[in-house]
Every structure is written in structure tokens, then in C-alpha cells.
Structure 1
Amino acid sequence: MRTGDFETLLVQRQADVLFVTLNVPHTRNALSPEVVAELGRALATAETDAELRALVLRGAGGFFCAGGNMGSFQARLDAGASGRALADDPVATANREFGRFMQRLASLPVPLVAAVEGAAMGGGLGLACAADLVLATADAKFALSETSLGIVPAQIAPFVVQRTGRRIATRLGLTGERVSGEAAVRLGLVDELAADSEALDALLAHWLGRIGACAPHANRELKPLLRRCGNEPVGPLLDDAALAFSRCLRDEGAEGIAAFREKRAAAWLRELTPQAVRAARLPAPAAGGSGA
């Protein structure tokens, strides 16, 4: 099912998974202001849909995302001189707005899965690092490439550090190193590789099945709890965790315990086939057409 009306994205829902595909192949799915704005609209769907179980982010044309759009960077340079404060600097203001989008992406209430083909460069790497699970084809490339263009990965840096640790993020950022899929796994950028696009669909279906085996409300409770770990005093965090445990036990926990005792699947179990995953990244058939 196609959701909404988008110019730069393919947005489709299969069962209770929202598939969002960057769809500007002629720019290698670069992050223009229009793309980011539409991604924000897609996130709004994920933020408000209580039945949603996961969001998958990928790119059309065999390429995940080339990062920032050079044309939009030039337009920002032409917008005016820099100011002494953030609010007075149009370049800084636009850059910070992308950071707010990144914060929303990383804070989605449902699991976020990035499926990377081709390459994830610059801001595209940032999108992947905001995900809870990153899958990629073996020939995919990854680079924190901003410094090679004379700029800094300002708004994605915290998310790269959170995913890889400071040492690896420093190496990637200060060298602009382009790493292979296998190296990306070793560096912590990628969780698992697939041989090619077809195998990536199957791998994605497998992991969505693993997510579908977990209670959806429990996952929604766990994500914000994990984000707080390491950033807050442990005592108050564990107080809140105890309340989360109580809510879950009185809700889905009763079904989970019953399913365990009765040796059956829990009522929330959901699966997607590789064919459904593949269909979700293709344009929806035109009205009255036969489709592809």
C-alpha cells in the first residue's frame, strides 16, 4: 500500500512495516531540502501510527544515499554572510534543521532498519548510523566524506560516534576513508552483509521476522530506555525501567507467558516474505495498470 503523495520517495506499507525508499536516482538519492522535508513527513507517519512495527529505509536505483546535495550547499552560500549567532547565520540555521531531522530519525518509537546498496556517503552514512539495524550488500561502500569537501559532518557526528565509538568515527572523519562492506562490519557500521540485492531482500525479511517475533509495545518501551543508558544516573533510570517492566508485564507479558507455557507462537508474531520486501521497494502500479 502506498502511503501519502511523495515526489522524492517511494513510501509503501507491507503489513505493519513502513518501507521508505529514497527515489532520486539521478542524484544518487542525495539529501536535498525536498528529500529531507519528505522524509520528515514519512517520519510523522511512523511517529503517529500505533500499529506500526518497523520502518525500513533504503535507496532506489541500487544506491542508498550520496549525502548532501551540492546544489543546495551552493544555494546556502549565496543566501548571505555568516552571522555571530546561530539564528543570524542562514547556513548554520539550515544545517541545524537537518540535525533536528536526525534526532527525530534516531528517536523513532519503532525499530529502524537501514538496507544499504551501492554506497552510503556523508549524510547517507549518517542516516545509516541513526538506524537500529544496518544491513548491506557486500559491495556497498561507506565514507564520512565531508572533510574531503572542506566541510565537517556537523549534524551526523553524534550518531556516527554512537554507532561506531569515538575512535572509529575520528578515523573515518579525519581521513574521509572509503570502506568496503566487510570493513564496515568490522568497524561496527554494518550489522550483517548480503551477497547482492536479492539476498539483501531475503536478509531484510529475516530480520523483520525477528522484529515481528517481539512484542511491539515492549519494543516501543525498550527503545527510549536504551537511549537513556549511559547518559543519565542509573538509579532514576532503573526506577523508570521498573515501571516500564510493570506496564509490559500487565500488557503483552500476559500473552507472552501464556504462549511460552502453551508452547505456541505469541499472538503478535508477524512475518514478511522476501517477495513482499522486494515489492515494497518498487513503485506502486499505476491505477488501472498491470504493474511490473
Structure 2
Amino acid sequence: MTESTPVPRHLLLARRHDVLFVTLNRPDTRNALAPEVVTELTQAICLAKSDAGVRAVVLRGAQGFFCAGGNVGNFQARLDADAGANDPVAARNREFGHFMQRLSALPVPVIAVVEGAAMGGGMGLACAADLVLATADAKFALSETSLGIIPAQIAPFVVARLGPRAALRLGLFGERVSGDAAVALGLVDALAADSDALDTLLAQWLTRLCACAPGANRALKPLLRRCGHGRDNESELLDEASRLFAACMRSEGAEGIAAFREKRPAAWRRSFEAEAVRP
């Protein structure tokens, strides 16, 4: 955090061991994604991207509830406006998509920590993360079609995480999943029995993460994303990968190899305790 960083009204921001903890803090709306919340989330993500010292982002919801999705209370005002040539409903929806693209493209690992429920856009946030941890009773659902709308801007990210068949099943039938079913679908990576155990689980994963060099992670994540898209020329991609490898070798690689030979922790290694990860 810097003096120039805007002070958020709807988020809690904390930085520990260079991990940025971003907590949705609108419990009166079950942390719904109102436009002002999305604006602050965008600012937080831009901060994480521009600050080379940030090693990861942890997304969570305050008071034991991840995110209820879009704020339905804001929909009527948009419907009352004339659609015209530039439909304000489409424009506002697309603004959320721009945020989702920024979140997905963030070069540092993103961890979603889900308690309570991740509904609609909240489930989209989880799908855009690189790791999803959840309590066994946390619920996930694409609830939009039950309201007569569609999960428009989160659709590519849901499909990328779950595959088209599972996305169709959840989207067309409004099914709610939790626990082992969410793990089987690939929606959740690891489960915890309750919130206390979830804190312990998050601390364990952050400790694993911080055994890895932060610069190497920033180089690897965009590379792996390019591999998955299948649009790059393979030879050009491997040429770029060789240049990234050399850059890493000449920076953090020297320390990593020295630490391995000397049987000591690398300089970037950090450990987390459960108390340090709570909102």
C-alpha cells in the first residue's frame, strides 16, 4: 500500500509478506458486486499488477460469506433508462467483463477463499482464480437464469475452469454444488471443514507459494496462459520461453541454485500462520 493508493470504502486491503489480501466488505448485501465494489476491485488488481513486490492476491468475503454476485437492487435503474444506441445495461455488464479480464490476466497467483456461497458473479470470481479453497458447506451456483438473465461476462472464465459440459449443466439447470461435488467438477481445489480450518489451509498454501520465487511466478503464469490458448506459434512461444528462462536464471535462479547447494532456505521463502491470513 502507498500514500497514493485510494482508500477503499467497500474492501478491506492488507499486505502481509507481500501477499495482498482483498476482502469484499459489504456484508449488508452479502458482498454483492455493486458498481462501486467492482471499481475498487479493479483498483486493487491494478495495484497488484503494477507493484513488482506483490507475490499473490487473496480474494475473500467479510463475515463468512464470499459473494452473492451482482447487486440486483441496482438493476431497475438501468432498466428505466432508454436502451438507445448505447444500451446502459449492456455497457454496465461489459464493465464487469473488463474487470474479469484484468483479474484473469494478473501475472501473480490469485487465490479465492470461499465461505458461505459464491453465487453468479461471485462464482465467476472464483473461476478466474488460480486456486480455490472453500469450506465443505460453501455453495456455488450460476444463479442468473433463475432471474431471467444469463452469466454473460463470467461465461468464458467458467468454461475455462470447468469445461463446456459442466458449465452448461450449472448454467442451464441452476444447480447448487458444494463440498466433494465442487471438487469433482474442478471448481474447488481443496476443502476445509470450517472457517478455522480454512484459515489453516490458506496459510499452508501461501507457505507453499512463498517457497517459490516471486519473479519466476510472474514469468510463468502469463507463459502458461499463452500455452493454454493455442493461438501462438509454437516455435515463437518456445523462443520466448527460452528468453524468460535465461532472465530468471540470471536473477532469482542464482539465489535458488545457491540455496539448494547450501541446503538452506532461499531468500524469498516466507511462512504463514493461520492468524496472519484472517480478514
**If the TM-score is normalised by the length of the shorter chain, which range does it land in?**
over 0.9
Structure 1 residues 39 and 164: alpha-carbon distance in aligned structure 2, compared to 1, 3 A threshold: same
Percent identity at matched positions? 71
Question: Separation in 2 of the partners of 1:98 and 1:82?
Answer: 21
2:75 to 73, 76, 92: 73
Task: Show the counterpart of 1:109.
Answer: 107
**Which one of the candidate residues 118, 123, 126 is aligned to 1:125?**
123
Partners of 1:20 and 1:270 in 2: CA distance: 19
- Which consecutive unaligned segments of at least 5 residues does structure 1 have? 282-292
Counterpart code for 1:56? V
- Distance in 1 (CA, whole Å) between partners of 2:76 and 2:217 is 41
Q: Distance in 2 between matches of 1:103 and 1:265?
A: 35
Q: Secondary structure at the match of 2:200?
A: helix
Tell whether 2:262 aligns with 1:259: no
Cα offsets for 1:116-161 (capped at 9, x unmatched): 0000000000000010000000110000111111111110000001
Corresponding residue number in structure 1 for 2:11: 9
**Aligned match of 1:225:** 223
Question: What is the CA deviation profile of residues 207-255 of structure 1, one whole-angstrom value per residue up to 9, with x for unaligned ones?
Answer: 0011100000000001110111132232211111111111111111111
The AA in structure 2 aligned to 1:139 is D
Counterpart for residue 241 of structure 1: 241
The SS at the match of 1:229 is: helix
Q: What CA distance in whole angstroms lies between the structure 1 residues aligned with 2:223 and 2:103? A: 16
Shift of 1:107: 1.1
The one-letter code matched in structure 2 to 1:31 is L
Instruction: Give 1:37-116 correspondences, 5 Å limit.
Output: 37-81=39-83, 83=85, 88-116=86-114
Spell out, residue by residue over 1:66-92, the C-alpha distance to the aligned partner (whole angstroms, 9 max, x if none).
Answer: 000002222211122254xxxx21111
Deviations 1:239-286 (A, max 9, x none): 1111111111111111111111111111110112111112xx0xxxxx
SS of equivalent to 1:223: helix
Distance in 1 between residues matched to 2:217 and 2:223, nearest whole Å: 10
1:44-72 deviation line (CA, Å, top 9, x unaligned) = 21111111111100001110000000022
Retained in 2: the 8 A contact 1:134–1:191? yes
Query: Which letter maps to 1:244?
Result: L
Task: Report whether the alignment pairs 1:181 with 2:179.
Answer: yes
1:197-236 matches, within 5 Å, as 197-231=195-229, 232=231, 233-236=233-236
Residues paired across the two proteins, number = 275
5+ residue gaps, structure 2: none
Q: In 2, Cα distance between the equivalents of 1:73 and 1:163? A: 28
Determine the structure 1 residue equivalent to 2:156. 158
TM-score normalised by structure 2 residue count: 0.95
**Contact residue 142 and residue 181 of structure 1 kept, 8 A:** no
SS at structure 2 position matched to 1:136: strand
The aligned counterpart of 2:167 is 169
Pairwise CA RMSD: 1.3
